Every structure is written in C-alpha cells, then in structure tokens.
Amino acid sequence: MTTIALYATDTMADWEYGYLTAGLAMARERDQDANRLIIASETGEAVTTMGGLRITPDAAVPDLPALDALILPGAPSWDSGHDAVLRLAAELVAAGTPIAAICGATLGVARAGLLDDRPHTSNAAEFLTQATEYRGAEHYRDEKAVTDGTVITAGGVSPLEFAKLVFERLNVFPQPVVDAWYGLYTTGERKYYDQLAGA
C-alpha cells in the first residue's frame, strides 16, 4: 500500500487538489490496498480551506508515519512559516521520496531550496523570486506541470496536469487509464469516458 499525506492548511486552494484526491479515491474503489491518504496539518488542528470547507486532519505533521509521497496544495500563506512540513519535504526529497507542490506551495519548496537544482514550474518565474532563498531560476520551465521524478510542481491553474504527474509517478493507475482520465477531463469527449468505463 502506498501511503500519501496531503498537507492541509488554512486558506488552501480547494481546486488544486480535488482531482488528485478524487482520483486516489477511485483507485481505492478498484483496490482497497491501492493507497492510503492521510490528511495532516501543522499541529493536527482543523483548518478552513479557501472555499470555506472545514477539514479535520488525521494527524499533525510531526506524527506522520513513513510516507511514499507528500502533497502540498497552494495557499496565500506559503511566503513564510510551514517549517515542519518543509523540513519533512526536504527529508523526503533527500531520500528520493516524491513530493508534489502546486501554486503557492511551490514558493514554500523554493524557500526550502528544493528547486535550486532541478527542473520545475510555478505560477510564473517571477512568483518564485519572492523567496530570497531561491537559486533555481535557470531551471524554471514555462509549462503547466513539471517533474524530475522526485519533485513535481505545477501552477495553480493546472490541477489536472498536477494530478496526472502524481498518478504516473505513484503508478496509481495503468498508463492507459491515466491517459483516458486526462483526455476525459481536458476534452469532455465521450471516447475517453468509454475507455475509462472499459478499464
């Protein structure tokens, strides 16, 4: 079983992780041992998303078990703080365990130095320069989502591409299923629905 933690923080952007968490749930419907999703906040206390949803986490970041992946959704607060989860992210990256950051969370991982020597993206190249610690401008890619195999990054308007890269990295679905899923949600064409239903 793959153990995945989703970091929950106040004002996190609901649309950035929705496709991903729904896809992980679909995988569990197919195979109950497919993955285990743990919601974690900095202290374990409840958070309120940007959309006003109140989420009660399963754990505090320091109490998380060994992880196979860490998901970091965006929020307006990533320009400071989040020290515990950024330390965890750095430890995971050093161990070769994937982390995935979208939108504002890319600023957090830039602050932690995790984008200094690998291809990455964000909302815009200049967005990351808000982090005075950031030294990775030469590795920035003007793409919807980017992975180097360990660190996945995406801009805030690319939740589908973000989820797709996570699904592929964690082998959540066979590649034809991922391709059909992505085709359906990007085009709405019936043929992709039929491919998914057939799978």
Residue type at 95? A
Q: Decide: 135 and 113 in contact? Cβ < 8 Å.
A: yes
Q: Give 76's DSSP letter.
A: T
d(CA 159, CA 108): 18
Distant-in-sequence contacts of 32-36, Cβ < 8 A, 24+ apart: 33/1, 34/1, 34/2, 34/172, 35/1, 35/2, 35/3, 35/4, 35/170, 35/172, 36/1, 36/2, 36/3, 36/4
CA distance 69 to 154: 16
65: helix, strand or coil: coil
- Check if 26 is active-site: no
**Strand 54-55 versus strand 47-48 pairing type:** antiparallel
Cα–Cα distance between 166 and 174 in angstroms, integer? 13
Continuous H helices in 31-150 = 83-94, 104-111, 125-128
Q: Which of 72, 103, 131, 151 is catalytic?
A: 103
Catalytic residue list: 103
